[in-house]
């Protein structure tokens, strides 16, 4: 397991400050785990083609409810998992934050899986993002 992503939520039917429908987004960094996989010899480097192929073959996710029960991703309208990549330049000075390059969505990694991002979802998200942002 790479890591959990916790979400503070409420039970169905409750309202949080008048907000009925809430969109939640989060992330689970994969870089440290991928570096460990490189160290084990299962992955040669962090190049996008190699990482994309490895993740397509090995990435999976599970959703756990508040009582520990398994939750079917199909039961969560709008649930989508995507993988994003970016080149990062780290400074030799530990007090200087890293610089991130442009982000690329690796659609093929989760496409075709339940809850995975596909090209239609990506296009819809881009269109909605353009309308909202």
Domain definitions of the chain by residue range: 31-132
Cα–Cα distances in Å, from 128 out to 19, 49, 111?
Answer: 20, 28, 20
Q: Looking at residue 132, what is its pLDDT? A: 41
- The confidence score (pLDDT) of residue 133 equals 40
Which residue numbers in the chain have pLDDT < 50?
127-133
pTM exceeding the 0.85 threshold for the entire prediction: no
Q: Rounded to 5 degrees, what are φ and ψ at 35?
A: -60, -40
pLDDT value, residue 49: 95
pLDDT score of 43: 94
């Amino acid at each position: 397991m790479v890591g959990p992503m916790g979400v503070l939520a409420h039970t169905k039917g409750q309202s949080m400050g008048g907000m009925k429908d809430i969109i939640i987004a989060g992330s689970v960094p994969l870089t440290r785990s991928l570096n460990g996989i490189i160290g084990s010899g299962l992955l040669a480097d962090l190049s996008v083609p190699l990482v994309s192929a490895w993740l397509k073959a090995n990435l999976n996710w599970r959703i756990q409810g508040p009582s520990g029960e398994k939750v079917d991703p199909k039961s969560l309208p709008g649930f989508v998992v995507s993988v994003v990549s970016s080149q990062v330049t780290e400074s030799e000075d530990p007090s200087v934050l890293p610089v991130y390059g442009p982000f690329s969505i690796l659609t093929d990694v989760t496409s075709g899986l339940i809850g995975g991002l596909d090209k239609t979802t990506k296009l819809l998200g881009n269109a909605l993002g353009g309308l909202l942002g």
